[in-house]
A = this chain, B = another copy of it.
Amino acid sequence: MEHLVEKTIARQTIFEGKIIDLHVEDVELPNGKTSKREIIKHPGAVAVIGVTKEDRILMVRQYRKPMERVMVEIPAGKLEKGEEPIVTAARELEEETGYVCEKLTPLISFYTSPGFADELVHLYVAENLQKKENAASLDEDEFVDLLEVTLEEALDLLDKREIYDAKTAYAIQYLQLQRKVNG
């Protein structure tokens, strides 16, 4: 793969934030020419597919500032420094939905925007969900509404673009595929 590699010549840190950092790199291309790459460093995140005993998918509605709108997504959250993704997944599930589960199984991990960011999302499937009394509560700058929807309702939300993000679209398609596989 050596013929594809871009070598870093110089690296400038533009911003170091609470969540993301921004670097601009001067790179040497495979043909010897140079170019610039704008790169976001992100701690990574988790997301949880949870289906209740009543066959409802757990979703949260929240305001997403980059789009200036409310969106419906599966429960998710950023990794804390040094935290195992599965621990983050259990915590975010409880904080955002008030549910806990007996088992979290890794389904898939994927980079969300490989062209400009290194954000890796780890997707888990939660099994044996149970509503918890006095569940852990949200961070003080997080506000979400819990939704419990059927697969048909989720597809309708996707159609209406209330659900509008990659990980939730993937999760819904996963549940559709499971139904086909399991008859």
A residues within 8 Å of B by Cβ?
Answer: 1, 3-6, 14-15, 17-20, 22, 24-25, 27, 29-31, 33, 35-42, 45, 61-67, 70-71, 73, 76, 78, 108-119, 121, 140-141, 143-145, 158, 161, 164-170, 173-174, 176-177, 180-181
Contacts and interface: CB of A to CB of B under 8 A. Distances in A.
A27 B30 CA distance: 43
Nearest to A30: B143
Contacts of A181: 180
A61 to B, nearest CB: 7
Given A15-B22, A119-B113, A40 B66 contact: yes
B164 A111 contact: yes
A66 B114 contact: yes
Contact of A143 (B25, B29, B117, B141): B29
Contact of A170 (B30, B141, B170): B170
